[in-house]
Amino acid sequence: MSALDTRAATTIEATDAAGGGRRSRRSPAGPEDGLIPGARRSTYWLYLVPGLALLAVIVVVPLVWNVYLTFTEYRGIRPPEWIGLENWVELMGDRVFWTSFGNSIAMILAMVIVPTLLGLLLAAMLFDLIGRKFGGKLASFLRATYYLPQILPAVIAAIVIGWILRPQNGALNQVLEAIGLGDLAHNWLGSPDTALPSLMVIMVWVQLGYPIVIFMAALQRVDPELYEAAELDGANWFQRFRAITLGMIRPEIFVVTLTCTIAALKVFGPVYALTGGGPGTSTIVPAYYAYSEFFQSQQVGYGATIATALTVVIAAVSVLFILAQHRMEKKEAER
Amino acid sequence: MSAIIEELDPERRDVELPTDAAPEPDAERPRRAIRSRRPGGPNKRKPGDWLVLAVAVVLGFFIAVPFLLILVNSFKSPADYNTSGPLTLPTEFYFDGIVAFWERVNFPEKLWNSVFISGLVAVFAVLISMFNAFALGIGRVKGRLWIVVLILLANMLPQEVLLYPLYFMFKEAGLYDSQWAVIIIFTVIQSAFGTYLLASVYSTFPRELLEAASLDGASRWQILWRVVYPISRPTLSVLLIFFFIWTWNEFLIPLTFLVSNATQTVPVAITVLQGDRLMDVTTTSASALLGLIPTLVFFLIFQRTLTRGITAGAVK
């Protein structure tokens, strides 16, 4: 999943790059011509054939098929049976489904809100203070350390922490005992009261490095003279942070929150590897719920409905984010 | 390996117009002079600064601790772990946990599976991205906006929504439990991203080069391979590395499609064995260690490319 975030981030950033490219295009020819003169444009379609054919088979057809399945009762063996909106009606009244979305909100807290806020603070700290007063090498080293969990496959990251949280002889419980806090020892991932918070802590650990790296790169853009001017005017560190840093790197904050929100809504691997949605349904998330309906309960129609609902939510969130960003940029331009 | 890094070094300069790349030496010099005189220079470290540094270091320590714990405990015997706990160094190096897990999952086979799948996906996806981007960015075919939107959609979808139809299709096609199913699926998913990025890169491709090649009588196919490909190679190799690592880290689709042991990738093989009765405490630790070593190695090899890639095309 760490990979997914990065991918999504770069996607969004590339949007901007693409926009910038279009604006700064200097070529004399109109936008209706290819860049190679002469030959007709329509023959370029040949180059799109393999890519689009594969896209149709692997993405478009399954997507449409999946939406069709949401209107059927299908257990994977006999052909799907049309039942209209029954799955959707059931979904709306399904407590497990709402629990799974409630847990998605917990995941957003752990994968978006906490890492972004903490990431802002740490990036500014590393860049503005540690990088300046203790040298850039130390700042880069700390940045690499914070980023370390991001490079692992999410399931492996989850297994690493899961190992520390083992109930009987796990490292955390043993440490607690060693320092005389044995009463706090706990079956962290196995009891309903601590399973979700433990999972959240794991996700913060996994996610934190990503905003730090993006924000630190963004800060390179900020003119140091701005800080100096503010410092001479008597602004303290926090005032400078609020007035300069936050304003300058707002585009990156948008990118990070959007991509992390999508990742948080999609989270699957760590839940699969650590809790299987349990105990009970205390850590179930939509992606895992859909998976278990597909392959454990064999309720394919219903699983398809959950997956489609998740897709709708992700699409809606993305559109809202992009609109909000657009509006903010407009406001900025008017000022 | 350092050769690869060298090769990637010229950043994406190559596809930018020369005027973009031109530095402004005059604007740079006075700023640097000011920087060295700034009030909070390196010689003025206040006690508060040390406090901030301490906080940053402690946090870094806590983030690194799980890695260190895994490293230390993978070389302990279960008895050693039970008597002296997780925090001490092993009394003697104990390789049985690692060896047991290595043999149990047939680790070399899983490594090869992961390398095979990720490697082919990376190559195919880069090829397809290049063809698509050639038509979209340089050919500027009609309706390219809609094609790009469609491709973006493919990138944002949760994979669950494709999962069952794909499962059904590949079962019908006799490719269930085949690595080719995974290779085909990820070629499409990764190339969706690659097309998107490359199309925007190619849309600013230096026009003069294309025109010159065209005047010399080169066909489109020749222009693609003799002009566009060599000039955009640094970008293509960044994509190649990304696709490789992203595919390596994937979980849901490999988990669904690779059911038999012999076809599984490293993350899948390690995850499905968690909670197995034969996994004692230090063997589990060893399994996590084996899972994280390959990605750690990639990170060290490609570190600069990766950090640059993450911020590639950063919002301007």
- What average pLDDT does this structure show over B186-194? 92
CB contact under 8 A, B249 and A152: yes
Looking at the complex, does the CB of residue B248 fall below 8 Å from at least one CB of chain A? yes
> What does the block give as tokens for A233?
């005017």
- Considering chain A, what percentage of its residues have pLDDT values greater than 90? 28
Say how many domains are in chain A.
Answer: 1
Distance from CA of B54 to the nearest CA of A (A): 10
* pLDDT above 70 as % of chain B: 81
Who contacts A180 (Cβ-Cβ below 8 Å, separation ≥6)?
none
Report the residue from A35, A46, A152 with minimal CB separation from B207. Answer: A35
Q: Would residue B229 be called left, alpha or beta, if left means φ above 0 and alpha means ψ between -120 and 50 degrees?
A: alpha
| End-to-end CA separation in angstroms for chain A | 39
The verdict on residue B122 lying in a domain is yes
pLDDT at B130: 94
| Structure confidence at residue B309 (pLDDT) | 54
Closest by Cα among A207, A158, A204, A192 to A277: A192
Mean pLDDT of B38-63: 78
Q: Look at residue B76 in the predicted model and tell me its pLDDT.
A: 82
- Predicted local distance difference test score (pLDDT) of residue A52: 92
**In sequence order, what are the residues at sequence separation of 6 or more whose Cβ sits closer than 8 angstroms to the Cβ of residue A328?**
A250
Residue B35, pLDDT above cutoff 70: no
More confident residue, A38 or A113: A113
Contact with chain A for residue B53, Cβ under 8 A: yes
Highest mean pLDDT among A6-15, B34-43, B247-256: B247-256
Residues 98-137 of B with CB under 8 A from A: 128-129, 131-132, 134-137
Q: How many Å apart are CA A276 and CA A272, to the nearest integer?
A: 5
Residues within 8 A of B (CB atoms), A 192-231 only: 205, 208-210, 213-214, 217-218, 221, 223-225, 228, 231
Find chain A residues with C-beta within 8 A of B210's C-beta.
Answer: 35-37
Question: Which residue in A226, A225, A209 sits closest to A217, CA to CA?
Answer: A209
pLDDT confidence of residue B52: 86
* A198 domain residue, yes or no: yes
Task: Inform me whether the C-beta atom of residue B64 falls under 8 Å from chain A C-beta atoms.
Answer: yes
> How many domains does chain B contain in total?
1
**Which of A41-45, A207-211, A262-266 comes out lowest in average pLDDT?**
A41-45
Using alpha carbons only, how large is chain A's radius of gyration in Å? Answer: 24
- The C-alpha of A151 sits at a distance from chain B's nearest C-alpha, in angstroms, of 7
Band of the pLDDT at A5, cuts 50, 70, 90? very low
CB nearest B271 (choices: A37, A159, A311): A159
The residue that leads in pLDDT, A224 or B255, is B255
Least confident interval from A118-127, A134-143, A180-189, B197-206: A180-189
Least confident range from A31-35, A220-224, A327-331, B291-295: namely A31-35
pLDDT at B59: 92
Tell which B residues from 272 to 291 touch A, by Cβ distance under 8 Å: 274, 281, 284-285, 287-288, 291
Per-residue confidence at B116, pLDDT binned at 50, 70, 90?
Answer: very high
In this model, does residue A100 exceed pLDDT 90?
Answer: yes
Nearest to A154 among B49, B151, B251 (CB): B251
Q: Is the pLDDT of residue A133 over 60?
A: yes
A181 touches chain B (CB under 8 A): no
pLDDT of residue A99: 92
pLDDT band at B118 (very low <50, low <70, confident <90, very high): very high
A·B CB contacts under 8 A: 373
Total residue length of chain B: 316
pLDDT in tens, A13-38: 444 444 444 444 444 445 556 777 76
Helices (H), chain A: 2-23, 45-55, 61-69, 86-92, 95-108, 114-124, 131-133, 136-151, 154-164, 171-178, 192-207, 209-219, 224-232, 237-240, 246-248, 250-266, 269-274, 286-295, 300-334
Q: Which residues of chain B make contact with A209, given a CB cutoff of 8 A?
A: 63
The pLDDT of residue A24 is 41
Determine how many CB atoms are found less than 10 A away from the CB of residue A206.
26
The whole-number pLDDT of residue B306 equals 59
Q: Answer yes or no: do A58 and B184 touch at CB < 8 A.
A: yes
ipTM entry? 0.79
Looking at the complex, does the CB of residue A37 fall below 8 Å from at least one CB of chain B? yes
Q: Give me chain B's average pLDDT, please.
A: 79
Residue B185 has pLDDT above 90, yes or no: yes
Does the pLDDT at position B5 exceed 50?
A: no
Asked if residues B121 and B183 have their Cβ atoms less than 8 Å apart, the reply is yes
Q: Is residue A38 part of a domain?
A: no
Chain B, 133 to 172: residues with Cβ < 8 Å from chain A are: 134-142, 147, 150-167, 169
pLDDT at A57: 92
Give the residue on B whose Cα is nearest the Cα of A161. Answer: B66
Query: Alpha-carbon distance B155 to B8, whole Å?
Result: 26
The Cβ of residue A268 has, within 10 Å, a number of other Cβ atoms equal to 22
Q: Higher model confidence: residue A238 or residue A204?
A: A204
Using 50, 70 and 90 to split pLDDT, how confident is the model at B305? low
pLDDT at A291: 92
Q: What is the overall mean pLDDT for chain A?
A: 82
DSSP-derived letter for residue A279 is: S
| Cis amide linkage into residue A279, ω under 30° from 0 | yes
Query: By CA distance, what is A18's nearest residue in B?
Result: B200
Question: What is the structure's pLDDT at B34?
Answer: 41
Is the pLDDT reported for residue A317 higher than 60? Answer: yes
Q: Which residues pair with A72 in a beta bridge?
A: A82
| Domain CATH for B131 | 1.10.3720.10
Say what the pLDDT of residue A105 is: 94
What mean pLDDT comes out for the span A78-91?
Answer: 86
Quote the percentage of chain A above a pLDDT of 70.
88
Structural domain of residue B222, as residue ranges? 106-272
pLDDT at residue A10 greater than cutoff 70:
no
> To the nearest whole angstrom, how far is the Cα of A166 from the nearest Cα of chain B?
9
Mutate to test the interface with B, among A2, A13, A36 (most CBs of B within 10 A): A36
Residue B218 lies in a domain: yes
Give the three-state DSSP class for A288.
Answer: helix
Q: Would residue A82 count as lying in a domain?
A: no
Q: Give the closest-approach CA distance of A217 to chain B in angstroms.
A: 7
Identify whether B277 is part of a domain. Answer: no
pLDDT above 80 for B44:
no
Q: Evaluate whether residue B6 is within a structural domain.
A: no
Section B304-316 average pLDDT: 51
The model's pTM: 0.81
- Name the residue in chain A with its Cα closest to that of B167: A62
Q: What range does the domain containing A309 cover?
A: 2-17+96-334
Whether residue A129 lies within 8 A of chain B, CB to CB, comes out as yes
Residue A85 lies in a domain: no
Mean pLDDT across A226-232: 82
pLDDT for A102 equals 92
The pLDDT value given to residue B307? 58
Question: What is the pLDDT, as a whole number, of residue A38?
Answer: 64
Contact by Cβ (8 Å): B58, B261: no
Q: What is the least distance, in Å, from the CA of A32 to any CA of chain B?
A: 7
The reported pLDDT for the residue numbered A136 is: 80
Average pLDDT over residues B134-146: 86
Instruction: Supply the pLDDT for residue A295.
Output: 87
Nearest Cα residue in chain A from B163: A62
| pLDDT at B242 exceeding the cut of 70 | yes
- Low-confidence winner among A88-102, A110-124, B65-79 (lowest mean pLDDT): B65-79
